[in-house]
Structure 1
Amino acid sequence: MQVVRRIKPEGGTITFFVAFGASRQMCRLATTFDTQKQAFSYLQKHRTEFEHMARTRLASGELEDGVVVLSML
């Protein structure tokens, strides 16, 4: 599995792709951080947990407009 970084201009929200073989699933992580840099650093530190959450939501069909939406607690 590979996480591909893709940052949107909204503060604290990061869009990334989780690769499953040849296919990729877009995921969006909403954070409480003020900057994109802080949010991406958090994503990198907790990558395994977010990949697991994204897979679980994808398997259960919890998508919003075809995107897996995650958020910080």
Structure 2
Amino acid sequence: MRVVPRIKSDGGGTITFFLALGAGRQMCRLATTFLTQKQAFSYLRKNRTEFERMARAQLASGAVEDGIVVLSML
């Protein structure tokens, strides 16, 4: 999994990560309410398995927005 954190100026942020699907990759975006990049990144690492499971389920059901799987905090 490759992670690219992005924090918005309104206090929330998104973390973009890529889900490995065989030889391919699927971009996923996790919306967070954390104020710092470090907090958001730590949260993603702690819950990585669950987010990967959720992303795979959304991808299988076709719930993709503009080619990106969009997730929110647990």
TM-score of the alignment, normalized to the shorter chain, above 0.5: yes
Cα deviation, 1:4-48, whole Å, max 9, x if unaligned, reads 111235352100101111100000000111111111100000000
Aligned to 1:44: 45
Aligned to 2:36: 35
What residue ranges of structure 1 are gaps of 5+ in the alignment? none
CA distance in 1, matches of 2:40, 2:70: 15
Whether 1:8 aligns to 2:9 is no
CA distance in 1, matches of 2:6, 2:23: 23
Q: Percent identity among equivalent residues?
A: 72
Aligned to 1:61: 62
Q: Which SS does the other structure have where 2:64 is aligned?
A: coil
Output the TM-score relative to the length of structure 2.
0.88
Spell out structure 1 runs of 4+ moving beyond 3 A: none
